[in-house]
């Protein structure tokens, strides 16, 4: 089995797949041969693209019902992984959604869809984040169970677990093409470092997943990538325990970060797959919007970066066997919630690949199948 892509999708799957396979070999009393799993990452390091550029939040009020079910299941998994290893992967940080008079419907829809949210009046929101201007919100909702994820520790833990369970993870090897041999039931994969064979390919190539499909001469999943720019600004008086504050109309978000304030205009600019760079105009807009919503003076932008968020047309992850091509499985389209959904998605995908049962409460796996 060859997994293409060493972001959170590929790394989480390599670990879950190798461990599940190990348990199945053990159960068979050694009569079942161990699966050979190799992960190929084109860059010189893992998690270089979207995974290394996220803002590492876990909120059960983001995205579609499917994404929320996946976030709930992932929170349970991440809690357990942290407890087992003695290194917590989550740290509580509430989320506050703000709505102005024009967007009361949006916050009401969030409150209806998500039982973990509580409506609060703007004064109560200001006790959690005293820098909010009174006029910044006509209504607010708080999610107290939201978390920060330690993404570095998480991807390192997946790499360690994958390696310990026998998977081979390689950087600086990119898939160039692949040919399916239907008679033998296997791929011949050409990389920039030579050829290999695999009975199955998992396409976990993030923004490049449709490009990888094209290299395998398979129809893509209709993915579109959008650039998002984030910056950290210096500001006096930022409380380290302040929540992540999000505008329901997706015009900005901010939260404390390294003694300053992490800010974004929540921009979504369509982009081809690329090594995304921060757009100065998006930083300027983020500064303006956060300044308008708070009493903070954002003195200086210390750093900024951008990453690509890659979506299928219905904005749900694309996970499952290709409908037309044998030997190809998709684990892509993780959009803006890949960190907080990959732990549960990887368990689901590993179970599907090895023919084992696995259920995620509130999720119909068919809703994620590639079309």
Contact residues for ligand FAD, defined by CB under 6 A: 4-10, 40-43, 47-51, 53-57, 174-175, 204-208, 212, 228, 230, 307-309, 334-340
Residues with Cβ within 8 Å of 114's Cβ and at least 6 positions away in sequence, in order, are 60, 61, 68, 143
Q: Could you count the other beta carbons within 10 Å of the beta carbon of residue 89?
A: 22
Minimum distance from residue 279 beta carbon to ligand FAD (Å): 12
For residue 44, what is the DSSP state? S
Spatial distance between the Cα atoms of 6 and 308, rounded to a whole number of angstroms: 15
**Contacts with 367 (C-beta within 8 Å, 6 or more apart), sequence order:** 66, 316
What's the Cα-to-Cα distance from 140 to each of 93, 133, 266, rounded to whole Å? 16, 13, 18
What tokens does 125 get?
Answer: 């929101």
Pick the closer one to ligand FAD by CB: 213 or 235.
Answer: 213
Q: What is the 3-state secondary structure (H, E, C) of 97-115?
A: EEECHHHHHHHHHHHHHCC
What would you report as the CA-atom Rg of the chain, rounded to the nearest whole angstrom? 21
Comparison of 136 and 207: residue with beta carbon closer to ligand FAD:
207
If you write DSSP's letter for every residue of 320-339 in order, what string do you get?
Answer: EE-SSSTTEEEEE--TT-HH
User: Please, what's the b/e burial string for 306-326 (b: 16 or more CB within 10 A of its CB; e: otherwise)?
Assistant: bbbbbbbeebbbbbbbbeebe
**Rounded to the nearest whole angstrom, what is the least distance from the CB of residue 166 to ligand FAD in the complex?**
20
What is the smallest separation between the CB atom of 50 and ligand FAD, expressed in angstroms?
4
CA neighbor of 307 nearest in space, from 55, 12, 61: 55
> What's the closest the beta carbon of residue 246 comes to ligand FAD, in angstroms?
10
- Residue nearer to ligand FAD on the CB measure, 139 or 221: 221
Question: What's the min distance (Å) between Cβ of 191 and ligand FAD?
Answer: 7
Least distance from ligand FAD to the Cβ atom of residue 85, Å: 20
Give whichever of 137 and 312 is closer to ligand FAD, judged by the CB atom.
Answer: 312
For residues 20 and 207, which CB has a smaller minimum distance to ligand FAD in the complex? 207
Q: How far is the CB of 278 from ligand FAD (least distance, A)?
A: 10
Q: Which residue has the tokens 């470092």?
A: 193
Q: Which lies closer to ligand FAD via its Cβ, residue 100 or residue 187? A: 187
Q: Which is nearer to ligand FAD, 20 or 345 (CB)?
A: 345
The Cβ of residue 219 has, within 10 Å, a number of other Cβ atoms equal to 15
DSSP-derived 3-state class of residue 367: helix
DSSP category for residue 36: P
What is the nearest approach in angstroms of ligand FAD to the Cβ of residue 11? 7
In order of 44, 49, 228, 283, 335, the CA distances from 222 in angstroms are 28, 20, 20, 29, 13
62 or 100, CB closer to ligand FAD? 62
For residue 184, the minimal CB distance to ligand FAD (Å) is 23
Q: Which residue number, 7 or 128, has a Cβ lying nearer to ligand FAD? A: 7
Nearer Cβ to ligand FAD, position 85 or 274? 274
Closest distance between ligand FAD and the C-beta of residue 262, in Å?
A: 10
């Amino acid at each position: 089995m060859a997994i293409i892509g060493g972001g959170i999708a590929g790394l989480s799957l390599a670990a879950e797949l190798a461990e599940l396979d190990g348990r199945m070999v053990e159960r068979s009393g050694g009569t079942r041969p161990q699966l050979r799993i190799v992960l190929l990452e084109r860059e010189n390091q893992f998690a270089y693209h979207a995974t290394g550029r996220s803002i590492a939040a876990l909120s059960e009020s983001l995205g579609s019902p499917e994404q929320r079910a996946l976030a709930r299941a992932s929170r349970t998994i991440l809690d357990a992984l942290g407890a087992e290893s003695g290194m917590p992967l989550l740290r509580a940080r509430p989320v506050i959604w703000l709505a102005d008079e024009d967007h009361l419907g949006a916050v009401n829809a969030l409150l209806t869809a998500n039982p973990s949210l509580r409506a609060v009046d703007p004064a109560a929101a200001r006790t959690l984040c005293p820098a909010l201007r009174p006029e910044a919100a006509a209504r607010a909702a708080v999610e107290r169970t939201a978390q920060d994820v330690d993404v570095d520790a998480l991807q390192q833990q997946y790499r360690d677990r994958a390696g310990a369970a026998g998977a081979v993870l390689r950087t600086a090897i990119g898939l160039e093409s692949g040919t399916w041999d239907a008679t033998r039931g296997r791929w011949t994969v050409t990389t920039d470092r030579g050829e290999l064979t695999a009975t199955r390919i998992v396409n976990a190539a993030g923004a490049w997943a449709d490009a990888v499909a094209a290299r395998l001469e398979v129809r893509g999943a209709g993915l579109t990538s959008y650039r998002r720019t984030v910056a950290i600004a210096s500001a006096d008086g930022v409380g380290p325990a302040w929540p992540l504050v999000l505008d329901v109309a997706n015009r900005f978000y901010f939260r404390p970060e390294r003694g300053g304030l992490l800010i974004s205009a929540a921009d979504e600019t369509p982009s081809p797959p690329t090594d995304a760079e921060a757009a100065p105009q998006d930083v300027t807009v983020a500064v303006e919007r956060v300044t308008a919503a708070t009493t903070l003076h954002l003195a200086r932008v210390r750093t900024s970066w951008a990453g690509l968020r890659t979506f299928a047309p219905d904005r749900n992850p694309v996970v499952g066997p290709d409908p037309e091509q044998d030997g190809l499985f998709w684990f892509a389209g993780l959009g803006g919630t890949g960190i907080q959904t990959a732990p549960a998605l990887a368990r689901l995908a590993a179970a599907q690949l090895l023919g084992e049962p696995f259920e995620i409460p509130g999720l119909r796996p068919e809703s994620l199948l590639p079309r």
